[in-house]
């Protein structure tokens, strides 16, 4: 049987999943995205060049790796075509990409409605990327959405398109927005089908065939666990579930195939958009971390909010997703800070609590309880082994393990692939050339 590894974000997204996924994808036979859509911007850097991805799996840079966009995703065909063109312009022309015929489509009215809903919220903004992800998932579960496989059946696609617009055009009109013409949308998507139609297939069958082999399969999550629609800081969340528990449904495989789960944990915390953030920093330390870490959204360009590492959140997400190892990123950004803090837990109304509370009202009342640790001055971007890290940096990583009950299995000390080292045998086993 194939070895499997799930890589997912364990905070509020932007943890550096792209780099970690790319690190393992370089030796994976298959990389599978199992949820989310083109709102999940992430970047990878190698050979001194930065590449940005949105919906396409991180294994796209490896010609021998099979890349799969699973049925649990919502796929914007226009965005996929644009993303592939950008990659082609950057010299990435040799790749294997397959898109599930069961994946829901993000249609042009979804982004229009997404923006309108956000605009009508007034002071109660969610902070959506306005890419139409939420409305696409809503239509999926309302059973009026279109799926990627529909593009392969032109007559059927037109019928589904007409049925969808019978519902959506009146809604657009009521909001004072332009309606969509069936013929124009049909013609546009038939042209798109000519370009990506050969990539659309039964990806569940494809993945299950690979599972029977001796290869390495990497499952790539989007966003972060604290943005989970069920377990995150609702309503300031995404519209899917990034957890490893979503892999079986979103990829079309049985649960027993889930192996090692690596939770990507930024050495501090960030958040884009609205919502509670208990460890947020509003001082020069936070500003310095933002600038050194280049904390600006890949998709939106918005400056990210910055805070101390939150072990309460990490314990919670590890519990939910069955995280077996932490992949700690951007440790180098903390160099030069005299005193570091880690939130070890929350106090709510005078008592310590086990998990983050369900309501925003309660979460806004929590008081983070911190442990303080001495920082380090050394530049660690050239460190190749755990043993060569400064003592205080090692102590910081050890404290993460102690507070969360999950060991640190990988450390990233810079943006490039080479600025990464593994400390966990379980993660090392996934690397063929280890």
Nearest to 169 by CA among 118, 117, 120, 109: 109
- On whether both 161 and 236 belong to a single domain, the answer is no
- On whether both 285 and 399 belong to a single domain, the answer is yes
pLDDT for the residue 117? 74
- Establish if 433 belongs to a structural domain: no
- How far, in Å, CA of 414 to CA of 431, rounded? 20
- On whether both 313 and 399 belong to a single domain, the answer is yes
Q: Is residue 71 a contact partner of residue 252, using CB atoms and an 8 Å limit?
A: yes
- Establish if 434 belongs to a structural domain: no
- How far, in Å, CA of 2 to CA of 90, rounded? 32
Distances (CA, A) of 311 to 268, 280, 344: 10, 14, 5
342: left (phi over 0), alpha (psi -120 to 50) or beta: beta
- On whether both 292 and 183 belong to a single domain, the answer is no
- Establish if 228 belongs to a structural domain: yes
Residue 369's contacts (CB-CB under 8 Å, 6 or more residues apart) are 343, 344, 345, 346, 347, 352
- On whether both 366 and 231 belong to a single domain, the answer is no
User: 48 preceded by cis ω (within 30°)?
Assistant: no
Contacts of 157-160 with CB under 8 Å at 24 or more apart are: 157/186, 157/189, 157/190, 158/182, 158/186
- How far, in Å, CA of 220 to CA of 346, rounded? 30
Instruction: Identify the active-site residue in 14, 139, 150, 416.
Output: 14
- On whether both 290 and 413 belong to a single domain, the answer is yes
252's tokens:
């079309």
Q: Is residue 236 a contact partner of residue 273, using CB atoms and an 8 Å limit?
A: yes
Residue 221's contacts (CB-CB under 8 Å, 6 or more residues apart) are 6, 7, 8, 9, 17, 34, 35, 36, 242, 243, 244, 246
Instruction: Identify the active-site residue in 22, 29, 42, 51.
Output: 42
Which DSSP string corresponds to 77-99?
HHHHHHHHHHHHHTT----EEEE
pLDDT for the residue 124? 57
- On whether both 149 and 274 belong to a single domain, the answer is no
Per-residue pLDDT of the chain (434 residues; tens, 9 = 90+): 899 999 999 999 999 988 898 889 888 999 999 999 987 666 666 666 777 788 999 889 889 999 999 999 999 999 999 999 999 998 999 999 999 999 999 999 999 998 887 765 555 555 566 788 999 999 999 999 999 999 999 999 999 999 999 999 999 999 999 999 999 999 999 999 999 999 999 999 999 999 999 899 999 999 999 999 999 999 999 999 999 999 999 999 999 999 999 999 999 999 988 899 999 999 999 999 999 999 987 666 789 999 999 999 999 999 999 999 999 999 999 999 999 999 999 999 999 999 999 999 999 999 999 999 999 999 999 999 999 999 999 999 999 999 999 999 999 999 988 999 999 998 998 886 65
pLDDT for the residue 157? 98
- How far, in Å, CA of 75 to CA of 270, rounded? 26
CATH number at residue 343: 3.90.170.10
Range of the domain at 132: 106-196
Burial code of 275-297, b = ≥16 C-beta within 10 A, e = fewer? bbbbbbbeeebbeebbeebebeb
pLDDT for the residue 131? 84
- Establish if 162 belongs to a structural domain: yes
- Establish if 347 belongs to a structural domain: yes
- Establish if 298 belongs to a structural domain: yes
- On whether both 371 and 346 belong to a single domain, the answer is yes
- On whether both 99 and 135 belong to a single domain, the answer is no
- How far, in Å, CA of 341 to CA of 334, rounded? 11
Residue 92's contacts (CB-CB under 8 Å, 6 or more residues apart) are 51, 60, 61
Number of structural domains the chain divides into: 3
pLDDT for the residue 426? 87
- On whether both 290 and 419 belong to a single domain, the answer is yes
User: CB-hemisphere CA count at 13 Å for 212?
Assistant: 5
pLDDT for the residue 47? 64
Nearest to 69 by CA among 192, 220, 190: 220
CATH number at residue 215: 3.40.440.10
When computed from its CA atoms, the radius of gyration of the chain, rounded to whole angstroms, is 22
Q: Is residue 78 a contact partner of residue 108, using CB atoms and an 8 Å limit?
A: yes
The verdict on whether 42 is a catalytic residue reads yes
- How far, in Å, CA of 417 to CA of 428, rounded? 15
Q: Is residue 114 a contact partner of residue 132, using CB atoms and an 8 Å limit?
A: yes
Distances (CA, A) of 61 to 110, 199, 255, 296: 30, 17, 28, 24
Which DSSP string corresponds to 178-246?
PPPPHHHHHHHHHHHHHHHGGGEE-HHHHHHHHHTTT-EEEEEEEEEGGG-TTTSSTTSS-SS--SGGG
- On whether both 171 and 313 belong to a single domain, the answer is no
Q: Is residue 9 a contact partner of residue 264, using CB atoms and an 8 Å limit?
A: yes
pLDDT for the residue 252? 98
pLDDT for the residue 298? 65
CATH number at residue 162: 1.10.300.10
């Amino acid at each position: 049987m194939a070895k499997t590894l799930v890589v997912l974000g364990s905070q509020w997204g932007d943890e550096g999943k792209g780099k970690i996924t790319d690190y393992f994808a370089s030796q994976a036979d298959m990389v599978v995205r199992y949820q989310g859509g083109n709102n999940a911007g992430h970047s990878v850097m190698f050979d001194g060049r930065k590449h940005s991805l949105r919906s396409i799996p991180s294994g796209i840079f490896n010609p021998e790796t099979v890349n799969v966009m699973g049925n649990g995703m919502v796929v914007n065909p226009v965005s996929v075509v644009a993303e592939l063109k950008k990659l082609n312009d950057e010299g990435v022309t040799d790749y294997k990409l397959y898109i599930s015929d069961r994946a829901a489509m993000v249609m042009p009215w979804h982004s229009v409605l997404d923006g309108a809903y956000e605009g009508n919220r007034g002071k109660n903004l969610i902070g959506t990327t306005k890419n139409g992800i939420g409305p696409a998932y809503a239509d999926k579960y309302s059973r009026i959405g279109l799926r990627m496989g529909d593009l392969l059946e032109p007559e059927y696609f037109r019928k589904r398109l007409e049925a969808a617009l019978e519902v959506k055009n009146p809604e657009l009109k009521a909001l004072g927005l332009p309606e969509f013409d069936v013929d124009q949308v049909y013609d546009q998507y038939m042209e798109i089908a000519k370009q990506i139609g050969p990539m659309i297939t039964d990806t569940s069958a494809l993945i299950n065939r690979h599972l029977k082999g001796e290869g390495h399969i990497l499952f790539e999550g989007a966003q972060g666990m604290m943005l989970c629609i069920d377990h995150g800081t609702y309503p300031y969340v995404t519209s899917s579930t990034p957890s490893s528990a979503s892999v079986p449904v979103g990829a079309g495989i049985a649960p027993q195939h889930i192996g090692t789960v690596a939770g990507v944990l930024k050495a501090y915390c960030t958040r884009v958009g609205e919502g509670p953030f208990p460890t947020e920093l509003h001082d020069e330390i936070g500003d310095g971390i933002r600038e050194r870490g280049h904390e600006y959204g890949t998709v939106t360009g918005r400056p990210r909010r910055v805070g101390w590492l939150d072990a309460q959140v990490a314990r919670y997400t590890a519990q939910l997703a069955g995280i077996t190892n932490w992949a700690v990123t951007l440790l180098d950004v903390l160099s030069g800070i005299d005193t570091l803090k880690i939130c070890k837990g929350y106090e709510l109304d005078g008592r310590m609590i086990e998990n983050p509370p369900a309501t925003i009202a309660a979460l806004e009342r929590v008081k983070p309880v911190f442990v303080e640790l001495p920082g380090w001055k050394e530049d660690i971007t050239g460190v190749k082994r755990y043993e060569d890290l400064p003592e205080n940096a090692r102590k910081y990583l050890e404290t993460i393990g102690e507070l969360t009950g999950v060991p640190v299995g990988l450390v990233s000390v810079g943006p490039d692939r080479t600025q990464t080292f593994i400390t966990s045998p379980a993660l090392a086993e996934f690397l063929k050339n280890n």
